[in-house]
Each structure stands twice: as structure tokens, then as C-alpha cells.
Amino acid sequence: MKTGNEQLPENAGTEGWRHEFLEGAEDAMPIVMAAAPFGALFGAAAAAQGLPGFEIILASLTIYAGASQFVFLELYGLSVPAWSVVLAVFAVNFRHILYGASIGRKMGAFRPLSKYTAFFFLTDPQWAASEVRSDGPGLRPAYYFGFVVPLYSLWMAGTVIGVWFGSLIKNPTAFGFDMLLPIYFLAILMGFRKRVNWLPIVLVSGISSSVLSVTIGPPWHISLGGLIGLIVAAFLPLPKGKEERGDGEDG
């Protein structure tokens, strides 16, 4: 298993750093195409709730967690106590604890400051791309932040556009904007379909989340469903001759 400590090629100076940075930016571009309208949708929805434009933009700058920001908006509109808003956002973002535990051990090439900065920018696609990268040439800061820059920039640009022009879209669902979040997570999920034991883990986690959604209600079904899938993954045996990652083939 790669840990991100692998040696860089001979041209690992400025040119090597630039090469990995551009690779990260290139890999981020397909995700950016979804992140920008997603950010615009958040900006428009927040403006419709009556939040000032400055606060909306500041939320995207400092929270940078799309799903949690939408949860906040939904609860804000219900005028619930502040503690329940914080608790709901924590429940939705609990998966990031699992993300951090997963890639943190693969950040051997990161210095402490860059590592903790990287965790601020840890999103679902960022985690997925980092996992894939660690399976190949190794995860290093240049690639990681190359992925960050276009994704974060376009998310913010989308938010600003949504704040300014969102009121022009009277019915976002008519354009299918309500499907952006499910498609976004489905794309990340399918990116791991070649991993060992992927199907049983996904089925158990998905069914558990559905049952929990009906019984205890959102948003806890998200985190608990993920934890149940994690427990199942820990107990499932690996097929003989196969590594923990991949489908038995190198890379």
C-alpha cells in the first residue's frame, strides 16, 4: 500500500511540482463542471431565504461543505434552535472524519501545515481523487492542491453568481437542479466500483441508510449508514491473492 512517501522523479524540483499540480487541476475539471452550478444553486437558495449576500459568500468561503450548507439552509428556514442546526451539520459532515482517517495515513509527503490545510479543503471528490492517486504514483501536496484550486475557485464563483442572479430562476427544480446532489454522490460512488467487496458494502450501507431515514429520520441516516458500511467492510474477508485495493490488477 502506498503512503505518499515514494520518491519523486529526477525532475522533482519546480518543474516536477508544476507537473503534478497541473495533473491535479486536470483531474478536477470534470468535477468542477458540477461544482459550479451546485454552488450557484446554493447561492440562489440562500438568497431566497433572505440571507445577506456577504454572509452567503462567507459561508462558502469558510464552511466549504455543500451538503452541510444546504442542510443549514433547510433548518434556517424552519427557525429551529441554533444547537440543532450545529448538530445536524455535524451529522452530515461526520463522514469527513472517516475520510480524514482514510487519507491521513497516506500523507507522508505532507508537512504539518500543508497537511492541516489540506484537511480544510477535504471534500467528497477531493477524497475520492486522493484515494485513487495514492494507489498510483502516491499522494503529494502538488497534486492535492492542484485539485483544490479549480474546485474551490469555481465553487466560490458559482456561489457569487447564484447570489447575484439566482432570483432570475423562479423554479430551479424545473431545470433538474434538485438532482445535482444525488448525481454528484453517485458519480463518486461508482468511481470505486472495482474495489474488492464494493457491491455488498454499498448494498448494506444503502439499505441501512434507507431504513434509518424512515425510522430515526435525517440527517443521521447518512452518517450511521456509512458507519454500518464501514463495519461490514472490516469484517468481510478479502479474496485470496487480491490486495486491499483494486480488482486484483496493478494500479
Domain of 32, in residue numbers? 14-191
Torsion of Cα atoms, 218 then 223 then 228 then 231, to 10° = -170
| Average pLDDT over the chain, rounded to an integer | 78
Q: Which of 219, 222, 215 minimizes the C-alpha distance to 87?
A: 219
- Contact status, residue 27 vs residue 147, Cβ threshold 8 Å: yes
How many domains are there within the chain?
2
Residues 129 and 19 in one domain: yes
Q: How confident is the model at residue 250 (pLDDT cuts 50, 70, 90)?
A: very low
Q: How confident is the model at residue 169 (pLDDT cuts 50, 70, 90)?
A: low
pLDDT at position 130 is 92
Q: What's the pTM value of the predicted model, to 2 decimals?
A: 0.66
Q: Is 4 domain-assigned?
A: no
Mean pLDDT along residues 35-47? 81
Kindly report, residue by residue over 182-229, the tens digit of the pLDDT: 776 676 677 667 777 888 888 888 898 889 888 887 666 766 777 788
Residues 46 and 161 in one domain: yes
pLDDT at position 110 is 92
| Domain finish residue from 171, 191, 211 | 191
Q: Which three cell numbers stand for residue 209?
A: 441508510
Q: Phi-psi region for residue 79, left (φ > 0), alpha (ψ -120 to 50) or beta?
A: left
The count of other CB atoms within 10 Å of the CB of residue 241 is 6
Residues 87 and 185 in one domain: yes
Contacts of 100 (CB under 8 A, 6+ apart): 119, 122
pLDDT at position 84 is 66
Interior angle at CA 138, CA 153 and CA 182, nearest 5: 45
Q: Calculate the alpha carbon distances from 3 to 55, 143, 168 in Å.
A: 39, 14, 48
Kindly report, residue by residue over 73-94, the tens digit of the pLDDT: 776 766 667 766 777 777 777 7
